[in-house]
Amino acid sequence: MRKLTTVVVLISLLSAGCKDGPKPIDLVFAPSDDVALGNQLHDEILANPEEYPLLDETEHADAIAYLQNMADQIIESGELDYAETFDYKVHIIDADVLNAFAAPGGKMYFYTGLIKFLEKEDDLMGVMGHEIAHADRRHSVRQMLENYGVQWLLSAALGEDPNQAATLLAQIAGAGASLKFSRSDEADADSYSVEYLSQTSYRCDGAAIFFQKLDSAGLTSSTPEFLSTHPSPENRVQDIQAKAAEVGCSTEYFAPASYNDFKAMLP
């Protein structure tokens, strides 16, 4: 018990990190453990096709490749800490849900409902940047370490008990996702989304556009991942736009016309 408490305190104290070199959290839970944990969660997703109807990777190879190409532009931006270590692979879930989520270690899941809802590719890039930031900044792993302790989480990463993966998956995915990212994690993911996109052709405040679209559609009372906590969408839009001004990046749409072709590939 004493050991676990010490670990939790250590993680809390040393939760930040710099871009270069190992971070304190790496000594407790290695980046490769994030990947192992993400693989366990992916297996759990595969085992539940009714709840997570993934698009078949062969049948829908074009659509998945299109989305992966979008992700690759962020992954290759030079802005990520774990671009080499993590498995930044996109998956598409065929359900009319306005949500996306990232597993520890970089696997990302986008619902067809979200892709179809967004009019411009830049808007989806904003959401993608936000999700990649949750993985690369290791927000969910930090939260899980606090909630469960390092031994339990290492056991989950090793797949010692499938119930552990089921428990964690329920917390980061689905309508009743109960892992609440902290207010600061959400603000951090929004801010990093701007940083990542500033190194691409896309407008860097796409995440703000996404919140505005949700707001104008009267959908901000729903509980997708990105709305799991305060701050309010209006404040987040302002913060994202302030960050874009600070970075000095483009807020003009790039909006490739091929986004409509991508949407047409979806079932």
Residues 73-132 binding Zn ion (CB under 5 A) are: none
Q: Does residue 226 interact with Zn ion by CB under 5 A?
A: yes
Q: In whole angstroms, what is the distance from residue 127 CA to residue 149 CA?
A: 29
Please count the residues of this chain forming the interface with Zn ion, following the rule CB under 5 A.
2
From the list 39-47, 93-101, 162-170, 219-227, the region that binds Zn ion by CB under 5 A is 219-227
Pick the closer one to Zn ion by CB: 116 or 183.
183
From the list 117-125, 166-174, 222-230, 248-256, the region that binds Zn ion by CB under 5 A is 222-230
Q: What angle do CA 56, 200, 99 make, to 5 degrees?
A: 40
Residues 182-211 binding Zn ion (CB under 5 A) are: 189
Site string for Zn ion, 141-180 (x = CB under 5 A): ----------------------------------------
Residue nearest to Zn ion (CB): 226
Is the separation of the CB atoms in 146 and 25 below 8 Å? no
The secondary element (H helix, E strand) that includes residue 102 is: strand 100-102
Q: In whole angstroms, what is the distance from residue 87 CA to residue 89 CA?
A: 6
Q: How far is the CB of 265 from Zn ion (least distance, A)?
A: 26
Q: Which of 245, 251, 136, 236 is nearest to 186 (CA)?
A: 236
Q: In whole angstroms, what is the distance from residue 75 CA to residue 117 CA?
A: 24
Q: In whole angstroms, what is the distance from residue 72 CA to residue 91 CA?
A: 13
The secondary element (H helix, E strand) that includes residue 205 is: none
Pick the closer one to Zn ion by CB: 63 or 189.
189
Pick the closer one to Zn ion by CB: 60 or 106.
106
Pick the closer one to Zn ion by CB: 86 or 226.
226
- Which residues contact Zn ion by CB under 5 A? 189, 226
